[in-house]
Amino acid sequence: MSNKGSSASLVFIFCVVGVTLLILPTPSWASEVSHELGTELPLWSIIPFAGILLSIALFPLLVPHFWHSHFGKVSTFWGLVVAIPFLLVFKGAALHEILHIFIADYIPFIILLWSLYTVAGGILLKGKLRGTPLVNTGMLTVGTALASWVGTTGAAMLLIRPFLRANAYRKKKTYMVVFFIFLVCNIGGSLTPLGDPPLFLGFLHGVPFFWTFKILPHMLTVAGLLIALYFIMDYINFKKETLPDREEDEERLKIVGSINFLFLLGVVAAVLFSGIVHLGYVEILGVERSTQSLIRDAAMVAMGLLSLKFTPWQIREENEFTWFPIQEVAILFAGIFMTMIPALAILRAGEEGAARALIASVREPYHFFWITGGLSSFLDNAPTYLTFLNTALGRFFAGVPEKTAVAHLISQKGIYLEAISAGAVFMGANTYIGNAPNFMVRSIAEEAGVEMPSFFGYILKYSLVILIPIFVVVTLIFFR
């Protein structure tokens, strides 16, 4: 199937599923769901989640050809390992949880990624940009600054291909892409609710839009250390490279497909709209969705379709654009979202669930920073953020209405919200699955011929060595 055909099929599936869900009547069991599953699920119910994470980590390393051809089947297998016994034991309650995570979380998540991926893929930076240490550091700095305003996915998809083309002549490129993931895909998204999903979730729950600038000093500390370290590493490696001669007819730098900046602005506006406007709620198969969020999703699909219509396909071909990265993310994250249902339910249950010892031990700001960040490295950082936001609210302002409690938390215990916010955003950089753009950038880099580290290689060679010491510094400065 052609790239155009794959895209059209993907969009068609989204549209058909969306319309079908809207017109179906609410099932009778939806109102009868009374289980608080997190209090009943045992800790071993997270084994399939560990299984899919280990599959993502080990299969590409041990059986790469099998993985490339069958990763969809592996994802489906682990999803069914959870879904079948879950449905047999908890019946309607389990079905409600599955529908909730896919209707309220997964589908909007993929629509956002698809729209940003499609729109950014239509913007081409033409001309020869040479990847010198100064140029590379400048691109990483610009991407870090952009991420809070167009989202980490938008900034990453906008810049990763020009970044790779600028460094095509360089022999050592792996560390470049890793630092790109650190900065553009994660750290840069920490200043506004547009930057990263957990901050947007906080915005929806009463955190003021510009409050997140409170973690500007934290962000500048992490970004500054990373950018300085990157420049040193790149300068050392650049001295060992042979710089190619400039060609006389070398084309000047120019942007092609600039109409897509309008569509990118449309995606950002749609996200902002859904957080500001309140139009009531509708039920889809027993799952409550806000009307404005449905409008947001429709608008983002429309922006992607407009990008496909008004961008000549030749531009995407020159941009080395393919659908594989977004397809891989959609398939693997379907399994991840399915298998993490028990883990999230146990966390939501707080001290009444199987993770009671862990939740009870979270007391100080640095506890919230590290537990939110550590779990956000492997779980979806948005519900993890919300879980520990609720933990803080319950600990300090039990029984107070949510918006009032959030206001009190900000005015009286703001350091706790800073810790939760910074942990959720910053530590998404710790693994490939900590944030969706990480996975997409890795896939695009591998398609471009960059040898990327394995799942554990990324953690052992880069996260533990570079990020964790920096996060210790952040703890000592801001969260002691």
Q: pLDDT (tens digit, 9 = 90+) per residue, 306-338?
A: 999 999 999 998 888 888 888 888 898 889 889
Interatomic CA distance for residues 122 and 9, integer angstroms = 19
pLDDT at residue 370 tops 60: yes
Task: Quote the CA–CA distance of 98 and 297 in Å, as a whole number.
Answer: 20
- Check: pTM over 0.85? Answer yes or no: no
- Asked whether the predicted pLDDT for residue 276 surpasses 60, the reply is yes
Q: Domain containing 253: what range?
A: 3-478
Tokens 């069991």 correspond to what residue? 29
Helix, strand, or coil (residue 128): coil
Phi and psi of 323, rounded to 5°? -90, -5
**362, pLDDT greater than 50:** yes
User: Which stretch of 145-149, 349-353, 433-437 has the lowest confidence by average pLDDT?
Assistant: 349-353
Q: In 3-state terms, what secondary structure has residue 413?
A: coil
Look at 95-104, 293-302, 344-353, 402-411 and tell me which has the smallest mean pLDDT: 344-353
pLDDT of residue 302: 96
**Backbone Cα Rg of the chain:** 22
SS3 47: helix
Domain count, the chain: 1
Quick one: pLDDT band at residue 35, thresholds 50, 70, 90?
Answer: very low
- Chain-centroid distance, C-alpha 288: 23
Q: Model confidence over 4-22: pLDDT tens digits?
A: 444 444 444 444 444 444 4
d(CA 13, CA 1): 15
pLDDT value at 270 more than 70: yes
| C-alpha span between 421 and 403 (Å, rounded) | 17
Model confidence at 246, pLDDT cuts 50, 70, 90, reads low
